[in-house]
Amino acid sequence: MTDSARTIESTDTLFRKRYKKECLRVNKFIQWLMVAQWLTGIAFAALYSPLTWIGNEFEPHVHLRASVFIGGALSGFAILWLRTYPTAAHTRHVVAITQMLWSALLIHLSGGRIETHFHVFASLAILSIYRDWTILITATAVIAVDHFVRGVFYPLSAFGIVTESPYRWIEHALWVLFEVAFLAPGCRRLRNEFRELCARQTEIVEAKRSVDIKVEERTKDLVKANLLLAIKTAEAEKMALVAKYTDNAVAISDGDANVEWVNEGFTRITGFEPDEIIGAPEFGFQFGEMTCPQTLADMRGAIDDKQAFNAEFISYRKDGTPYWMAIELRPIPGNDGTTERFISIQSDITDRVEAERQNRLLQQEIVDASRQAGMAEVATGVLHNVGNILNSVNVSASVIRKQFENSALENLEKATDLISEYESSLAEFIEHDDRGKNLPKYLVLVAQSLRNERVSVGREIGDLTKNIEHIKEIIAVQQTMAKTSGLQQELHASEIIRDVLTANKESLTNHAIEVIEEVETPEPTLISDKHRILQILINLVCNAKDALLEADVPRPRILLRTWTQREDVYFEVTDNGIGIRTDDINKIFQHGFTTKAHGHGFGLHSSANAATEIGGRLSATSEGIGKGARFVLRVPVDGRDSAEKHDRDAPSASDRDLSPFDSGEYA
């Protein structure tokens, strides 16, 4: 709906409402008028024609009864109709008809007085209060019909007489119409003016509503603005608190870095009061021989270029003492886009700089101490690992020595001595002497023995060579442990287990320790540092052997098992030896902790470190003393990424004092 249509509708609604109200007001007047006319009619009758006479006799006049009953009926009818249908259009016509009939009645009651006829015209004027010109037509019609019926029709039809001009009623009607001709346009004009008034009022209401809406919107805007202002004010107050109570020195300067305002922090740091520093150039900084010239030049360049600038340099307080200052310069653009001001935030970082210097010194000391400790640890690790291998080397050497001590070479020398003794008659000696007869067989046996001896010694020498090679690798690894990773190569789990058992073969054999190997099918393969794994597993087997010896169990047994799970290869070393106390299980990977009588507390610690370095983890479980122990080494199938990552991200294992939780898991 358009505004125009809505306005028209509102005008119509208002007009109807107010016209109804106006009608109700007129209705009240008409009701009183009806009562007044009734009383007046009775008074007329009582005054003019109270009695009717026949000779000397009399009785109440017909007019008196007519005034009571006809007048009462007319007024009662009109009042009842007004009360029943107060705002209906037909009510106004009923009033018009009733009022005209009242005129006729009053004319009757007043004896047809000419003056009473004015009641007709007065009634028309009264009816025009309704501002409904149609009821004037109704009134005119009623007057015309009344005059015609009573003046012409009834006398003629009832008595056959004509008591007045047959056209008299037309004359009367025309006179009434004459007045109506003026009243009707007046009614119409009043009605239109009334409607126009409603239209104006509607426009005023609409305008007021529009103004109210604008006022409401404006009020909302003002409330928002006030709220925003309150927020900004609160922020400004907080900013003022920050500026006042911060330990930083805050200075606001013009575009050329001349100080315009400083906070209390500025005074606290520099010692300058605001009135001493306002107008000072270069934010009021005091420079001296300790100030870095390059930094100063950079700051001045930033001021010239209207650029932000952060720096730390030495400035001087009012009393001339130098102090380290961190400065943050920020240009504040003006409305035209140019730098209108600078704000500088300075903080005294002297304590921090000193602390950093002390920290650097301490750091250097720690690094040196760590290097010393690392070197000691490396040395310890080398000795431990090499010592383990040296046991095997010693065993191999002992075997070789025993082999040489029991060598068949002595028998061969006996044979050769005998041959030398009988060199001239060797054939006769072999043919006739009993010893000579057995000499070939003896030589065959010696040869056989030497052949076996060579095989045995060769095998031991092979093991010895491997162990020596392992020692070399350990030393090489330990030498590069801090920074370099071991060789990443494809490994087969069965080969690793075999090498581990080879390294410990003699001791295991000598102590009748049963070794059970379980290799999952298909055989687990991995890419990792072989010697780290060997170092760990040899250490674990060696520990297992020691645990078995300490327990002195009737059937010492070591289980070596390997399998693949997800992206990892697992190596398990389980023994039924002395086991580990529950309280100790959390400490066994700590450096220096050992349960052995002659241990150093380094083996498991270095093994755990080695496991971590190759991206794996070493864990231990034991149900307690006498229950054996189980160690599981988890190694990633492809250890290259983890090794590189470990080398890149983590410090060297040898430099770290690993906690148990860093190095293993416990049950």
Partner 1 sequence: MNSRPVLLMTFVALFAMAAIGFVQLTDYSSRPGKSGQAPLRVTDVRLSDTSLADAFPAPGVPTLLVFYHPKCPCTVATVRVLERLQPRFRPKLRITAVAYCPGDQQDTWIESRTTTALSKLASSQVVVDRGGKLCKRFGVFVSGQVLLYDGEGRLSFSGGITPYRGHEGDSPSSLDLLKRINTSHDDCGSWPVFGCSMLSDSERQR
Interface positions with partner 1 (CB under 8 A)? 48-58, 61-63, 66, 69-70, 72-74, 76-77, 80-81, 84, 101, 104-105, 108, 111-114, 149-151, 154-155, 158-159, 161-165
Q: Are 580 and 532 in contact (CB under 8 A)?
A: no
Please state the closest distance from residue 6 (CB atom) to partner 1, in A.
Answer: 39
- 171 or 254: CB nearest partner 1: 171
Please state the closest distance from residue 49 (CB atom) to partner 1, in A.
Answer: 4
* CA dist., res. 4 & res. 2, Å (int): 5
Please state the closest distance from residue 188 (CB atom) to partner 1, in A.
Answer: 31
- 151 or 616: CB nearest partner 1: 151
Please state the closest distance from residue 163 (CB atom) to partner 1, in A.
Answer: 4
- Pure H helices in 406-504: 409-421, 426-432, 434-480, 493-503
* CA dist., res. 11 & res. 8, Å (int): 5
Q: What type of residue sits at position 341?
A: R
Please state the closest distance from residue 51 (CB atom) to partner 1, in A.
Answer: 7
* CA dist., res. 611 & res. 30, Å (int): 117
- 68 or 292: CB nearest partner 1: 68
- 114 or 512: CB nearest partner 1: 114
Residue with structure tokens 């730098």? 339
- 112 or 337: CB nearest partner 1: 112
Q: Are 385 and 539 in contact (CB under 8 A)?
A: yes
Q: Are 511 and 556 in contact (CB under 8 A)?
A: yes
Please state the closest distance from residue 168 (CB atom) to partner 1, in A.
Answer: 8
- 100 or 614: CB nearest partner 1: 100
Separation of first and last alpha carbons in the chain: 84
Which DSSP string do the residues of 62-106 spell out, in sequence order? HHHHIIIIIHHHHHHHHHHHHHHSTT-HHHHHHHHHHHHHHHHHH
State how far Cα 157 lies from the chain centre.
Answer: 105
Please state the closest distance from residue 63 (CB atom) to partner 1, in A.
Answer: 8
* CA dist., res. 84 & res. 48, Å (int): 35
- 95 or 614: CB nearest partner 1: 95
Here the tokens at position 661 are 């939780």
- 107 or 446: CB nearest partner 1: 107
- Pure H helices in 246-345: 264-270, 274-277, 293-305
Q: Are 503 and 392 in contact (CB under 8 A)?
A: yes
Beta strands 249-254; 259-262: pairing state: antiparallel
- 39 or 355: CB nearest partner 1: 39
Please state the closest distance from residue 186 (CB atom) to partner 1, in A.
Answer: 30
- 153 or 261: CB nearest partner 1: 153
Beta strands 514-519; 557-565: pairing state: parallel
Please state the closest distance from residue 193 (CB atom) to partner 1, in A.
Answer: 35
Please state the closest distance from residue 91 (CB atom) to partner 1, in A.
Answer: 13
Residue length, the chain?
A: 667
Here the tokens at position 648 are 């890149």
Please state the closest distance from residue 161 (CB atom) to partner 1, in A.
Answer: 5
Please state the closest distance from residue 41 (CB atom) to partner 1, in A.
Answer: 12
Here the tokens at position 117 are 């006829």
Q: Are 167 and 148 in contact (CB under 8 A)?
A: no
For residue 608, give Cα distances in angstroms to 20, 322, 548, 612, 653: 105, 52, 22, 6, 9
Please state the closest distance from residue 22 (CB atom) to partner 1, in A.
Answer: 25
- 76 or 601: CB nearest partner 1: 76
- 158 or 512: CB nearest partner 1: 158
Please state the closest distance from residue 154 (CB atom) to partner 1, in A.
Answer: 5
* CA dist., res. 199 & res. 185, Å (int): 20
Name the DSSP letter for residue 666: B
Q: What type of residue sits at position 570?
A: Y
Reduced to 3 states (helix: H, G, I; strand: E, B; else coil), residue 311 is strand
- 164 or 495: CB nearest partner 1: 164
Name the DSSP letter for residue 422: T
- 84 or 321: CB nearest partner 1: 84
* CA dist., res. 276 & res. 265, Å (int): 14
- 60 or 274: CB nearest partner 1: 60
Please state the closest distance from residue 85 (CB atom) to partner 1, in A.
Answer: 11
Which DSSP string do the residues of 501-557 spell out, in sequence order? HHHTHHHHHHTT-EEEEEE-SSPPEEEEEHHHHHHHHHHHHHHHHHHHHHHT-SS-E
What are the residues whose beta carbons fall under 8 Å from the beta carbon of 16, sequence distance 6 or more?
none
